[in-house]
Amino acid sequence: MNFTDNQLKAINHKEGNLKIVACAGSGKTTVMAERIAKLVSEGADRDKIVAFTYTDKAADSLKFNIREKLEKWSPDEPHLGGMYIGTIHSFAFKRLRDIIPKYRSYEVLDEVKRIIWVHKYKGEIGLDSIRKDKLLIDSIKRFLNTVDIIRDNQIPAERLNAIPDFMEVYENYLNILEREKYLDFSGILHKLVSVLESNSTLLTDLKESIDYLVVDEYQDVNKIQEKLIYLMAGENGNLCVVGDDDQSIFEFQGADVNNILQFENKYCNVTTVKLEENFRCPEEVIEASRDLVKRNRNRITKRMVAGNIGDEINKSDSGDLYKVEFDNQKEESSFIIDKINDLRGCEYKDEDVLRGLDYGDMAIIVRSRLSAQHIVNALREQQIPFTFKGTGGLFERPEIKFIQAIFYYIADYSFSREEPPVDLNHLRNSFESLDINHLEWGQLSQQFEELKSYIKSITPSNPIAPQRRTFLQEFYYQLMGILEVDSDHYSEDLLYDFGRFSKLVAEFESIHGWINYGSFIQFVTFLAIYAQNKTDEGGIDDPRNTNSVNVLTIHQAKGLEFPLVFIPDVSTGRVPSRNRNRKPKTHFEEGIIDLDSFCSGDEGERRLFYVATTRTKKFLFMARAKDNGGKNLVSRSKYYTEFDHEIMEYNNKPDPTSRNKIEPQCKPNMELMPTSFTDIRHYIECPYRYRLQQMMGFSPVINLAYGYGLQVHNLLNYIHKTYGGEPPSLKEIESLVESDFFLRFTRGEPLENMKRKCKEIISNYIEEYNDQFELKLETEKPFEFPLEGALISGEIDLIQKIDPSSQEIKNVSIIDFKTEKEDYENFPLLRMQLRLYAIAGSKSLGLNPLDAGVHFLTNNVRRNVSVNPDKLDETRGQVADAITNIKRGNFIATPNHDKCKNCDVRYVCSNGKCCNGC
Ligand code: SF4
């Protein structure tokens, strides 16, 4: 790639703070990757480079790019080593766990789990005492909004005195989170910042561990994130921020565009580089987008021009850009369907490769879901494949609705206030409307009645008596068994949907553990108030389903690009959104915080529209219907007028340019398939099980000792990390296990037994291996390396030096700890794991592993694994074969009695059903 002068200026920047203002399509990821790779080639320590991205997907893309650039800059060692590239939240959580051992037992609540958690503890938290909303889900959301805003903005305690009732509930929330060992996202950053602000040694350690800090999408950073960045980098560090104020679209999450606007005022010695050339969009789209966003006042001025691709500039042909008004939505969706059909197979030159456009090249980008529904219906009618994420499509499937109705029947729940609770008649009607011919209603109804009386009999009075424990996933699989769910009786699509439902059950179960009738009702309520509107169909994230039209919101489209983009419903009330000035619902009183800053407002909405138009690489079709389904006719959005160019077609007339058609061919998916040794192992053990679990989402039932192995690992890793040549005394081990050993679903005597066992095996290990502490080089070392189109990631428990006196620290030994007893039958697979880790040691970490061992903690024995080149080649071949077969879709079941009888997903596998209950 030929870099522009400004790109080179950013790439060559070494010391001091750097602000890169990167317009849409300006190649910022390539520039960031090139700079990091060049820094490494000039001697920067990989372990001291940190790059924050907005999402995990963006992190994967940046890592992929850095690896590619390292091939050029450091061909002998093109590995990422110990660089951290990922989200700021993951970084902060890892850091917290490293410095405070108790956080190793904590779990992070994502959005769904936090809703389930608050719902579970709402009584103890006292949520009802401050409830302002009719709907429970609104009340939970209002509470959580307030919690996040307090912490993200570090609102001082004295200002919060104005809302004493809320503060009491908030304190309860924090105390119960702490008691139950959970953290939420805003809590992670808040805790790390508090720890660093109050402990100068920890802050100095953190600062000294980072030589270069890069922050992507800096315009979307909120106050607490900026605080952490500032603490890490200081005013005079090597901080590089990359962003575009014109693409700041996350105000509702607290993003503060002033961070990028005012960067020079806060940090010293700042070099500013503007990447103003857009290499993605046609010149005409760039000009129209620039004229549109220039109307915003509070922004950095920039040129925004088309960049040369080779010797050429990407220019529109007549008919590439349309802006058309229709009387109604039917006409609007027909226009979109016609364009999809007309342009599918149209010749398109993509990075010098000529191919026919296909569905996966097309995107329908909307401000909100409401604007897409009529188009989605038309796509469905025309049988055009599409994906529409975040739409709650799962519960539109009649078979899933039927499962929901069975849960409602058991809980005596109704679908609405006006309807009576679901009864057997309701279930029978649902059942008869389905295409399930292999089941007979009489027998089914009896089984449903039995399930109902069984669930009703589980009371919380003796919740830890083993005979009373029922796990929801177990119950769900029982139901799957009754409905004879397997590939002989249901289509693949439906299996994906049943698998997605199993994931929902797993999310609920991860908070509730085993159930009683009360928590069963909570699950049903969770379905009703949240899951049924938020859960997508199964299979939507399956990377093999890439060739479908992408229907997505502008927020989801950020960072993406498509040869063909439709922006429908460009009418008043939709863009800009009529909610643009609506403040988030909170418990704040006037004067505590300015909630206007969380609203997109007119300028924010214009930025959103700018993000939408700049996703296109060639075709852009903007449309609107005067009658868009509301009570009244709607007028044009002001952006419909503001976005304009003389080349645009304004009428729905045929494409004026004749276009060659060739075989449609979607762009090959260059993304590396993320995988791990555990995934590969599952595939090798039974390819069909891999498919059911990894791809469809059928989840295992929680084991009573859930988390035991992880706890032992965590404590041992902490000991390795914290204690140098001198291992801890027995007393120290006792007190560490006593304070930090935690099993989420085990209480009483079983918990005490496991604690005792943990103390014993750690003490035995240290007694026998204490002389090896001085050999420690790294613990919990994460790795990632590409192989056969997959990205294999994992974490090595312990890396030891072979010779402590040698200066050559590349010669190492790799050790993996197992809490289970030594098992000869499994040993070939464990050998494969260690050999794969040895490959990772050299490919990802630049080490030279000379030997490896599996350490069975229960027996306290270490078994050596040979890692000579022939053995490593053999493993590489086996793993590569497994990856190739996964990618080719080879998922043949390999049943055998011993394997199937313990298989977590035997209930939904026709091959394993003979082993049910064996
Ligand atoms: S039951 Fe047996 S054949 Fe079926 S997925 Fe499990 S291991 Fe494979």
User: Which pLDDT band, with edges at 50, 70 and 90, does 193 fall under?
Assistant: very high
Does 872 contact ligand 1 (Cβ within 6 A)?
A: no
Query: What's the CA gap between 76 and 702, in Å, rounded?
Result: 45
Q: Are residues 729 and 800 in the same domain?
A: yes
- Whether residue 555 has its Cβ less than 6 Å from ligand 1: no
- Is 306 domain-assigned? no
Query: Is 23 assigned to a binding site?
Result: yes
Domain membership of residue 775 (yes or no) is: yes
Contact indicator for 795, 717 with CB cutoff of 8 Å: no
Range of the domain at 124: 107-180
**pLDDT at residue 718 in the model:** 87
Atom of ligand 1 nearest to the CA of 686: 8
- Interval 192-211 mean pLDDT: 96
Give the CATH number for residue 367.
3.40.50.300
Q: Does 801 map to a domain?
A: yes
Determine if ligand 1 sits within 6 Å of the CB of residue 686: yes
- Pocket flag, ligand 1, residue 689 (CB < 6 Å): yes
- Among residues 145, 180, 215, the one where a domain terminates is 180
CA distance 772 to 742: 28
774 and 840: one domain?
Answer: yes
Cα of 914 from ligand 1 centre, angstroms: 10
Q: Which atom of ligand 1 is nearest to the CA of 910?
A: 4
Taking the C-alpha atoms of residue 289 and residue 482, their distance in angstroms, rounded to an integer, is: 57
Question: From the CB of residue 726, how many other CB atoms can be counted at a distance below 10 Å?
Answer: 9
Report if residue 283 sits inside a domain.
no
Task: Tell whether 768 and 709 lie within a shared domain.
Answer: yes
Residues 896 and 764 in one domain: yes
- The residue type found at 825 is E
| 907 Cα to the center of ligand 1, angstroms | 9
Question: Does residue 531 register a pLDDT over 60?
Answer: yes
Q: Are residues 346 and 460 in the same domain?
A: no
Residue 29 marked as a ligand binder = yes
What is the distance between the alpha carbons of residues 790 and 749, in angstroms, rounded to a whole number? 44
Q: Is pLDDT at 706 greater than 80 in this prediction?
A: no
286 lines ligand 1 (CB under 6 A): no
For 784-797, the pLDDT digits (tens) are 999 998 999 999 99
Location of structure tokens 């990422």: 80
Counted domains in the chain:
5
CB-based contacts of 577, cutoff 8 Å, min separation 6: 367, 368, 600, 605
Phi, psi of 324 (to 5 degrees): -130, 140
Verify that 209 and 260 share a domain, yes or no. Answer: yes
Q: Report the candidate in 770, 788, 794 with the shortest Cα–Cα distance to residue 880.
A: 788
Residues 12, 30 share a domain:
yes
Q: Look at residue 466 and tell me whether its pLDDT is greater than 70.
A: no
Nearest CA to 211 out of 192, 238, 187 is that of 238
pLDDT at 543: 59
| Residue 304 Cβ < 6 Å to ligand 1 | no
26 annotated ligand binder:
yes
Judge if 632 and 755 occupy the same domain: no
Same domain for 638 and 723: no
Ligand 1 site-directed mutation target among 905, 908, 914, 915, most atoms within 8 Å of CB? 905
Closest CA to 793 of 680, 669, 670, 671: 680
Which atom number of ligand 1 is nearest to the Cα of residue 900? 2
Which ligand 1 atom is the nearest neighbour of the CA of 692?
5
Query: ω before 654 within 30° of 0 (cis)?
Result: no
Burial class (CB in 10 A: 0-12, 13-18, 19+), 443: exposed
Residue of the CA atom closest to atom 5 of ligand 1: 689
In whole angstroms, give the CA distance from residue 353 to residue 667. Answer: 10
Tell me, what's the pLDDT at 457?
86
398 and 382 fall within a common domain: no
443 domain residue, yes or no: yes
CA of 685 to the centre of ligand 1 (A): 9
DSSP state of 505: H
Q: pLDDT band for position 918 (50/70/90)?
A: very low
For tokens 């790019």, name the residue: 65
For residue 298, being part of any structural domain is answered with: no
Per-residue pLDDT at 461: 62
**Residue nearest ligand 1's atom 7 by CA:** 900
CB 278 within 8 A of CB 307: yes
In a domain, 293, yes or no: no
Is the model's pLDDT at 539 over the cut of 90? no
- The predicted-structure confidence for 82-122, as pLDDT tens digits, reads as follows 899 999 999 999 999 988 988 988 999 999 999 999 999 99
Q: Tell me the average pLDDT across 310-333.
A: 94
Return mean pLDDT, the chain: 92
Exposure string over 357-380, b if 16+ CB within 10 A, otherwise e: bbbbbbbbbbbeeebbbbbbebbe
Residue 197 shares a structural domain with residue 58: yes
Q: Say if ligand 1 is within 6 A of residue 777 CB.
A: no
**Predicted confidence (pLDDT) at residue 171 exceeds the cutoff of 50:** yes
3-state secondary structure of 2: coil
pLDDT class of 913 with cuts at 50, 70, 90: low
CA distance 322 to 303: 25
* Residue 301 belongs to a domain: no
Statement to judge: residues 176 and 227 lie in one domain: no
Q: What is the mean pLDDT of residues 538-561?
A: 82
